[in-house]
Chains A and B, each alone.
Chain A
């Protein structure tokens, strides 16, 4: 059905609902997500120096750990890229292997992030402590939530590829959307790392 749809994808015809439109729709979603993160960054920019007598970023951020998180997430983007190359060649085993590696890296990233945040809360530096920590927890938490959703999504797609025994056109469209999502989150994290962690410590 999808094949037929694609071949009939003439301009001005009724048939403009193919895979390319799904990806375009996902781009539009990503742009709205961009707005969410832009507002959270703006909030952090405005309130990031309101410590209310609490700790500043310099006092609580452990840069080596954050560096590790950054490296792991960047690496997971690369492995996802290899997975997509395999998917386009129709190599489902290689795709699943790369998805597995990506999943593990993503899960480790989330584990490190939860560890970092729970450590802050245990020290009494939870989001209710100061405006700075509220903005920090909201921004980092939202990004972490996105990565978690990405992990669930990845699991479902992997199960579907296993079920189909090959990479179908539908799988490929969905994998393309997920890869956009994953790279987008990577970019957001780079911004978090730069504007939240590095500028707070410098």
Chain B
């Protein structure tokens, strides 16, 4: 029972109707929670059935560029960087008609390598924040040391990026899904 209720004796005659109204409200919220849980359960159970499968990345005929991506997106996101002419760039492209990328449109793509440094530094920072709030000074010092040491170790890491060659991109992009069947570069 929430604080004001426990103080104001909920079933006193002066408070008639209020508990009932609140109950209706609570039931509506409960229904919403149940629907949300049901949605997640159905989504997971039927994730492989054809009518739920997202093959285009654009199930709702979207207007903006994020819907131009397949789902899940390729690691490099856009195979060729889109040139935007319009507020709703994807809708604009759809109106003008879709064309494939020309082979010479592809360029080498410079990619960052995955690193756990950010996660580790974030965890130490969380510890520092917690320790500062509760005045646990040894943990503050340990957390700071952890951040600095992780940063220094990361600074010695030479292998932080790689390049996907244009041919590879063309090859990966060449397996057509409906969403990739047009050219966002759009030769005017």
Contacts and interface: CB of A to CB of B under 8 A. Distances in A.
B39 to A, nearest CB: 37
Given A8-B108, A160-B155, A13 B148 contact: no
Given A12-B81, A17-B161, A160-B155, A152 B148 contact: yes
Contacts of A170: 158
A12 B80 CA distance: 9
A27 to B, nearest CB: 19
Given A15-B107, A17-B112, A4 B152 contact: no
B127 interface: no
B148 A17 contact: no
B163 interface: yes
A15 B156 CA distance: 23
Contact of B110 (A8, A12, A174): A8
Interface string B142-181: 0000001000100110100101000000000000000000
A156 B152 contact: yes
B109 interface: yes
B137 interface: no
A6 to B, nearest CB: 11
A194 interface: no
B110 A14 contact: yes
B76 interface: yes
Contact of A14 (B76, B155, B158): B76
B81 A17 contact: no
A202 interface: no
A14 B109 contact: yes
Interface residues of B, number: 16
Contact of A12 (B83, B109, B152, B158): B83
A83 B107 CA distance: 38
Nearest to A168: B158
Nearest to A163: B156
Interface string B66-92: 000000000010100101000000000
B84 to A, nearest CB: 11
Interface string A1-41: 10011001010111101000000000000000000000000
A14 B161 contact: no
A10 B110 CA distance: 12
A15 B108 contact: yes
- By Cβ-Cβ distance, the 9 closest A-B pairs, closest first, are A14-B109, A15-B110, A13-B107, A17-B110, A12-B81, A156-B152, A5-B110, A14-B110, A14-B107
Interface of B: 76, 78, 81, 83, 107-110, 112, 148, 152, 155-156, 158, 161, 163
Given A8-B108, A160-B156, A174-B155, 20 more contacts: A1-B161, A1-B163, A4-B163, A5-B110, A5-B161, A8-B107, A10-B107, A13-B81, A13-B107, A14-B76, A14-B78, A14-B107, A14-B108, A14-B110, A15-B108, A15-B110, A17-B112, A17-B161, A156-B155, A170-B158
Interface of A: 1, 4-5, 8, 10, 12-15, 17, 152, 156, 160, 170, 174
30 contacts: A1-B161, A1-B163, A4-B163, A5-B110, A5-B161, A8-B107, A8-B108, A8-B110, A10-B107, A12-B81, A12-B83, A13-B81, A13-B107, A14-B76, A14-B78, A14-B81, A14-B107, A14-B110, A15-B107, A15-B108, A15-B109, A15-B110, A17-B112, A17-B161, A156-B152, A156-B155, A160-B155, A160-B156, A170-B158, A174-B155
